[in-house]
């Protein structure tokens, strides 16, 4: 497997597919490309994501600019510039960062706004809503990029983390008073729940903030998460969910998030509960990885089946989770073998179509029985959705981190 070639082909997808216009990143990049033809979820996609550009017959780009997707791509281009010795990629990273800070309007700056310094979901759609998963990535990546030499981003990362922590302190106070199974009476932030996709990611953000902000205590909200979450979802989240393929309380997607986030937290805080859940989660991934290298799709927003590999919510995070568990646990070989199997699988299925809107990407869902992209569509997942962030940037980052020896650990 030629990892640099995998990275190069994916970078070319970002530049040539139509997801990023202009291709230097000046106006950021869209959330995803959607295959229109045969897409059973198209009506709901059109209803909720109506800023679209037709880039080819039967193919559109969803044009909303998300902060998390753009920050993920910025780090990817920055690492790729070094790995491939290509200064033009550094220019793209510069433009994406400047778009976010200077042109997107996504950072909330209202003086009396309770969400001040948090980042809205996307522009031009729903920029006022500050989701917990998106802001987790924004905080973490602002501080990762600051540590890599973009010192001007440090203040924005710490300010967002402090506001985020305040809201999460309110949430855990509510749980302490009312119990884990009691739904919130009033929404604190969209995505305020114990799922690893949501507040598990928040612990990663707080680990990064703690490494750079000596004036704020982040350990309290991190400890609370690992007190409540390991036992599984609260009743109001689990009542209407399909059973997992493993019989475990969380889906494989969520153990991927936990393996990554808890490893980062454990390294930063040396927190016993985080070490325990990081090891357990990584072991779950090792145990339930198929010989192909894939993990069963069982996320709420994807078609569910053991032979389907989900690139939006599962394979991507499981791969990054195994990488960070490998490093956190002294380069444990069982995690390395599972990580390598996942990379091999991802390299094999990387799209080789001649069309530029496909070539070099990872689409949303792969059918391992058929040996091709497939398995159905959901309005935010499935075979016809090709995400910039959350799929292609994180998967490419897994290859880049391995190539460069870098990581998402706080302080590294």
- Domain holding 254, by residue range, is 111-404
Task: Kindly state whether residue 127 falls inside one of the protein's structural domains.
Answer: yes
| Whether pLDDT at 412 is above 80 | no
Whole-number average pLDDT of the chain:
96
20-53 residue pLDDT tens: 999 999 999 999 999 999 999 999 999 999 999 9
pLDDT band of 131, cuts 50, 70, 90? very high
Contact 375, 308 (CB under 8 A): yes
pTM, full prediction: 0.97
Q: Is residue 360 situated within a structural domain?
A: yes
pLDDT in tens, 331-350: 999 999 999 999 999 999 99
The angle subtended at Cα 325 by Cα 319 and Cα 331, nearest 5°, is 110
Say if 81 falls within a structural domain.
no
Contacts 24+ apart (CB under 8 A), 106-115: 106/65, 106/67, 107/156, 107/160, 114/163, 115/163, 115/189
Contact (CB, 8 A) for 29 and 105:
no
298 inside domain: yes
Q: Does the pLDDT value for residue 240 go beyond 80?
A: no
The enclosing domain of 400 has a CATH number of 1.50.10.10
The tens digit of pLDDT for each residue in 178-213 reads 999 999 999 999 999 999 999 999 999 999 999 999
pLDDT exceeds 80 at position 247 = yes
In the numeric block, which tokens belong to residue 218?
């982040």
374-397 tens-digit pLDDT = 999 999 999 999 999 999 999 999
As given in the structure block, the two tokens for residue 54 are 């037709």
Q: What are residue 41's phi and psi, to 5 degrees?
A: -100, 10
At residue 32, φ and ψ (nearest 5 deg) are -165, 165
| Integer Cα distance of 143 and 212 in angstroms | 8
Mean pLDDT of 82-100: 98
> pLDDT band for position 263 (50/70/90)?
very high
pLDDT of residue 245: 85
Tokens 């998967």, located at residue: 395
User: Burial, 183: exposed, middle or buried (Cβ in 10 Å; 0-12, 13-18, 19+)?
Assistant: exposed
Q: How far apart are CA 159 and CA 161, in angstroms?
A: 5
Give the pLDDT of residue 242.
Answer: 81
Could you report the per-residue pLDDT of 101-124, keeping only the tens digit for each?
A: 999 999 999 999 999 999 999 999
The dihedral over CA atoms of 111, 140, 161, 117, expressed in degrees to the nearest 10, equals 10
Whether pLDDT at 239 is above 80: no
Whether the CA torsion 183, 194, 163, 380 is positive or negative: it is negative
pLDDT band per the 50, 70, 90 thresholds, residue 237: confident
385: which strand partners? 34
Classify residue 78: in a domain, yes or no: no
Using CA atoms, how far apart are residues 412 and 400, in angstroms rounded to an integer?
15
- 243: pLDDT confidence band, cut at 50, 70 and 90? confident
As a whole number, mean pLDDT of residues 90-110 equals 97
Query: Is the pLDDT assigned to residue 221 strictly greater than 90?
Result: yes
In a domain, 306, yes or no: yes
Phi-psi region of 58 (alpha: psi -120 to 50; beta: other; left: phi over 0): left
Whether 54 is in a domain gets the answer no
Section 235-259 average pLDDT = 90
As for how many domains the chain has, the answer is 1
């Amino acid at each position: 497997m030629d990892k640099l070639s995998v990275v190069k082909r994916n970078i070319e997808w970002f530049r040539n597919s139509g997801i990023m216009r202009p291709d230097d990143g000046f106006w950021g990049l869209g959330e995803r490309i959607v295959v229109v033809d045969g897409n059973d979820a198209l009506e709901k996609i059109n209803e909720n994501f109506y800023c679209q550009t037709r880039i080819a017959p039967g193919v559109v780009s969803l044009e909303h600019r998300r902060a998390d997707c753009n920050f993920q791509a910025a780090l990817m281009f920055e690492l790729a510039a070094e790995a491939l010795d290509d200064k033009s990629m550094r220019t793209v990273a510069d433009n994406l960062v400047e778009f976010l800070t200077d042109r997107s309007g996504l950072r909330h700056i209202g003086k009396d706004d309770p969400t001040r310094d948090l980042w809205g979901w996307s522009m031009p759609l729903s920029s006022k809503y500050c989701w917990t998963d998106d802001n987790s990535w924004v905080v973490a990546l602002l501080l990762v990029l600051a540590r890599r030499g973009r010192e001007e981003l440090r203040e924005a990362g710490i300010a967002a983390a402090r506001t985020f922590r305040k809201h999460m302190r309110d949430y855990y106070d509510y749980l302490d008073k009312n119990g884990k199974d009691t739904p919130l009476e009033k929404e604190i932030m969209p995505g305020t729940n114990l799922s690893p996709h949501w507040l598990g990611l928040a612990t990663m953000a707080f680990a990064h903030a703690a490494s750079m902000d000596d004036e704020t205590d982040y350990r309290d909200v991190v400890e609370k998460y690992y007190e409540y979450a390991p036992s599984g979802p609260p009743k109001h989240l689990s009542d209407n969910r399909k059973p997992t393929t493993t019989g475990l309380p969380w889906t494989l997607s969520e153990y991927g998030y936990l393996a990554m986030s808890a490893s980062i937290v454990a390294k930063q805080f040396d927190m016993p509960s985080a070490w325990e859940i990081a090891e357990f989660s990584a072991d779950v991934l090792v145990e339930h990885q198929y010989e192909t290298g894939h993990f069963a799709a069982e996320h709420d927003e994807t078609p569910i089946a053991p032979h389907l590999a989900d690139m939006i919510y599962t394979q991507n995070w499981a791969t990054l989770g195994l990488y960070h568990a490998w490093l956190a646990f002294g380069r444990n070989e069982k995690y390395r073998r599972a990580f390598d199997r996942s990379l091999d699988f991802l390299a094999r299925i990387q799209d080789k179509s001649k069309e530029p809107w496909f070539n070099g990407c990872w689409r949303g869902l792969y059918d391992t029985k058929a040996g091709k992209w497939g398995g159905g569509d959901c309005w935010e997942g499935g075979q016809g959705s090709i995400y910039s962030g959350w799929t292609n940037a994180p998967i490419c980052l897994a290859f880049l981190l391995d190539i460069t020896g870098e990581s998402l650990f706080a302080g590294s």
